[in-house]
Structure 1
Amino acid sequence: MEAEDQQALTGAVIKEHRLDLAQLWLEFVGLGGDASEQLIREYCAGEATLSPKERDALAQAVNEHCVAEGLPLRAPFSGSALFLLRPERHDPERKDPYSSK
């Protein structure tokens, strides 16, 4: 998954569930993340970038919170596939699973 896609989707999950960024940051640090709380806020606002390791630690923190609260949406990891949502980036000969053809 491209960094920009992961950032947008993670931010959307946080916004949709109205997750507390201060709490997420504490969970992120507990999972080995070392970015500042301010950098996490800027990342979620689309104003900063994080390394794949940091993005995945934040996604894990978001997902653990969502599981604990029974929330349906999850943040993607850097290795997550996005091809079903954006099939134009893949082999045009591959059959679209959503196509009726």
Structure 2
Amino acid sequence: MDAVDQQSMTGAVIKEYRLDLAQLWLEFVGLGGDASEQLIRDYCAGDAALPAKERDALAQAVNEHCAAVGLPLRAPLSESALFLLQPERHDPERKDPYSSK
């Protein structure tokens, strides 16, 4: 997955659920993340980049938090295949399997 796509999708989950970034940062550090809380805030705002290891630790923290409280959306990992999440970006001619047409 492209780093920018992962960043925007992770940020969207955080924003959608109004997740507490301070709490997420603690969970991120517990999972081996090494970025400062301010850098995580900047990343989520789209103002900074993170290496894949850090992006994945944050996505994992988001996903574990969402799973613990029963929220359905998840943040993608760097190895996620974006075209599986959004088929139209991979192949615009591909039919929607949920469409009745």
> Given the two structures, how large is their TM-score scaled by the length of structure 2?
0.88
Q: What does residue 35 of structure 1 align with?
A: 35
Specify the code of the residue in structure 2 equivalent to 1:20. Answer: D
8 Å contact from structure 2 (residues 52, 78) kept in 1: yes
5+ residue gaps, structure 1: none
Query: Residue 83 of structure 2: SS of its match in structure 1?
Result: coil
Aligned position for 1:96 = 94
1:20-99 mapped onto 2 (5 Å cutoff):
20-84=20-84, 85=86, 87-89=88-90, 96-98=94-96
SS at 1:42 equivalent: helix
Identity of aligned residues (%): 74
What's 2:15 paired with? 15
Q: Is the 8 A contact 2:34 2:54 kept in 1?
A: yes
Please report the RMSD computed on the Cα atoms of aligned residues, expressed in angstroms.
Answer: 1.9
Deviations along 1:54-80, whole A, 9 cap, x unmatched?
Answer: 000000000000000100100000000
**Is the Cα–Cα contact under 8 Å of residues 59 and 75 in structure 2 kept in the other structure?**
yes
- How many residues align structurally? 98
CA distance, structure 2, for counterparts of residue 63 and residue 88 of structure 1: 24
Q: What TM-score does the superposition give when structure 1 sets the normalisation length?
A: 0.88
Amino acid at match of 1:4: V
